[in-house]
């Protein structure tokens, strides 16, 4: 029955172009039409990561709720946390439409949105009244026409310091020309120095230290990963998010939409992003928090990210195909998998397949 509703909802939304369908799903969540999931309160799924207490390890990835319109509704779907943004200091319209494409046969998505968002002030106004109501991260970026990109990230830290549970510095969107260059060693060092200095100043004023994560691309060479790991450890960053969308187009069934420019996500990203996750875990050691994202579509794939080295997991694209019941199904599915694995905490399974994933080629 639920499956029938799911198919109906999906077929309904798939009649519209992806961006219109996305807007409709946000409107449905805002209106309260989407039923909340019965939250599984399984103590084995709880994790404390970067000083935050997560009821379960599954989060909504950045890009779905760019303007912080529905964080509470997303948490009610069963997510243990949600991430708003990417937000930039000034509002910007992004690239011309169409700019989101479904690869239905692959259960993938290609987007070249280019950080369309309403800017810092609009998101801040929405977040202020719901402060403290669940774990809400703020993903910050730079305006396309910015003359000082690092200053835009610093502005994000300062603007959202009183409302963010954590920050994500997103330097890995492929859709803002030159943004990924911030991953190069010298630029990354300058970015991390500035962002963490701003965070430390704000922490001294507020009396509380908000963690900062760095979100990286899956399209990295082994040397690129070495450089990022070295900088992350040197600057005492709080964690990594691995990964953003990929520019690769390997192994796709769809050969039409696949030609679109942009970042690919969803099922076709799972292997690549999980491999990079494990390779980064190997480089940064056991202590640094890592959030795994890319192609999570089920409890099994969520758990596989954890076995490859993730502390927490996020998803976005597969919800396009599976509907708003997906987070609830994954969280209850994780409990069942823990019964089978006979462990007292999901933490015990972290890194259990690290070598399997880290030894692969990207
Ligand atoms: C339509 C769309 C928009 C996205 N926008 C952002 C964004 O603004 N900031 C960001 O850090 N990631 C963004 N992402 C990337 C996702 O957060 C995630 O890293 C990526 O899609 C891989 O996860 P998935 O396969 O579960 O979708 C976006 C993804 C999609 C599909």
Q: What is the DSSP string of 247-296?
A: S--TT-S-SSGGGSSSEEEEGGGHHHHHHHHHHHHHHH-SSS-EEEESS-
pLDDT given for residue 5 in this prediction: 47
In a domain, residue 24? The reply is no
Of 13, 244, 252, 302, the one to substitute when testing ligand 1's pocket (max ligand atoms within 8 A of C-beta) is 244
pLDDT given for residue 41 in this prediction: 86
In a domain, residue 311? The reply is yes
* Residue 30 in tokens: 């805002």
For residues 200 and 178, give the distance between their C-alpha atoms in angstroms, rounded to a whole number: 27
Nearest protein CA to atom 1 of ligand 1, as residue: 111
* 207 is annotated as contributing to ligand binding: no
- Write out the residue range of the structural domain in which residue 191 sits: 38-358
* 90 is annotated as contributing to ligand binding: no
pLDDT given for residue 211 in this prediction: 98
pLDDT given for residue 9 in this prediction: 64
- Bond before 199 cis per omega within 30 degrees: no
* Residue 350 in tokens: 């972290």
In a domain, residue 11? The reply is no
Domains contained in the chain, number:
1
- Give residue 205 CA to ligand 1 midpoint distance, Å: 32
In a domain, residue 132? The reply is yes
Q: Is 273 a catalytic residue?
A: no
* Residue 257 in tokens: 């939409």
Nearest protein CA to atom 2 of ligand 1, as residue: 63
Of the candidates 62, 13, 55, 30, the one whose C-alpha atom is nearest the C-alpha of residue 317 is 62
Residues with CB under 6 A from ligand 1: 61-63, 66, 85-86, 100, 109, 111, 113, 139, 170, 173, 215, 244-245, 265-266, 269, 293-296, 315-318
Kindly tell me the burial class for residue 329, based on how many C-beta atoms sit within 10 Å of its own C-beta (0-12, 13-18, 19 or more).
Answer: middle
In a domain, residue 127? The reply is yes
In a domain, residue 274? The reply is yes
* Residue 126 in tokens: 């929405």
pLDDT given for residue 8 in this prediction: 55
Annotated catalytic residue within 173, 273, 297, 332: 173
- In this prediction, the residues of the chain whose per-residue pLDDT falls under 70 are 1-11
pLDDT given for residue 1 in this prediction: 38
The residue count for the chain: 362
- Give residue 283 CA to ligand 1 midpoint distance, Å: 24
Of 245, 269, 290, 297, the one to substitute when testing ligand 1's pocket (max ligand atoms within 8 A of C-beta) is 245
| CATH number of 42's domain | 3.20.20.70
Q: Are 211 and 200 in contact (CB under 8 A)?
A: no
In a domain, residue 317? The reply is yes
For residues 199 and 178, give the distance between their C-alpha atoms in angstroms, rounded to a whole number: 24
For residues 170 and 240, give the distance between their C-alpha atoms in angstroms, rounded to a whole number: 10
In a domain, residue 27? The reply is no
| 113 Cα nearest atom in ligand 1 | 3
pLDDT given for residue 359 in this prediction: 97
């Amino acid at each position: 029955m639920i499956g029938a509703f799911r198919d109906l909802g999906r077929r309904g939304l798939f009649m519209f172009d992806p961006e219109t369908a996305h807007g409709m799903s946000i409107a449905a969540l805002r209106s309260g039409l989407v039923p909340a999931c019965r939250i599984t309160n399984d103590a084995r799924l709880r994790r404390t990561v970067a000083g935050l207490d997560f009821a379960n390890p599954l989060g909504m990835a950045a890009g779905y709720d760019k303007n912080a319109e529905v964080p509470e509704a997303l948490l009610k779907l069963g997510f243990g946390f949600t991430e708003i943004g990417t937000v930039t200091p000034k509002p910007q319209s992004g690239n011309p439409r169409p700019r989101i494409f479904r690869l239905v046969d692959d259960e993938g998505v290609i987007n070249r949105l280019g950080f369309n968002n309403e800017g810092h002030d609009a998101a801040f106004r929405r977040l202020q009244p719901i402060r403290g109501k669940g774990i809400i991260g703020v993903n910050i970026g730079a305006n396309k026409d910015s003359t000082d990109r690092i200053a835009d990230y610093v502005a994000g830290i300062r603007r959202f310091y009183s409302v963010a549970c954590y920050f994500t510095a997103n330097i890995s969107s492929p859709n803002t020309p030159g943004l990924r260059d911030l991953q190069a060693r010298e630029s990354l060092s300058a970015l991390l120095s500035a962002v963490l200095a701003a965070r430390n100043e704000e922490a001294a004023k507020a009396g509380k230290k908000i963690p900062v994560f760095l979100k990286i691309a899956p399209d990295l060479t082994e040397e690129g990963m070495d450089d990022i790991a070295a900088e992350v450890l040197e600057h005492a960053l709080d964690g990594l998010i691995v990964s953003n969308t990929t520019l690769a187009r390997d192994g796709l069934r769809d050969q039409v939409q696949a030609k679109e420019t942009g970042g690919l996500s969803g099922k076709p990203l799972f292997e690549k992003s999980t491999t990079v996750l494990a390779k980064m875990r190997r480089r940064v050691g056991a202590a640094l928090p890592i959030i795994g994202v890319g192609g999570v579509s089920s409890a099994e794939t969520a758990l596989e990210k954890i076995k490859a080295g993730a502390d927490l997991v996020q998803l976005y694209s597969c919800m396009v195909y599976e509907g708003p019941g997906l987070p609830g199904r994954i969280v209850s599915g994780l409990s069942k998998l823990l019964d089978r694995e006979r462990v007292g905490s999901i933490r015990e399974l972290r890194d259990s397949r690290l070598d399997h994933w880290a030894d692969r080629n990207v």
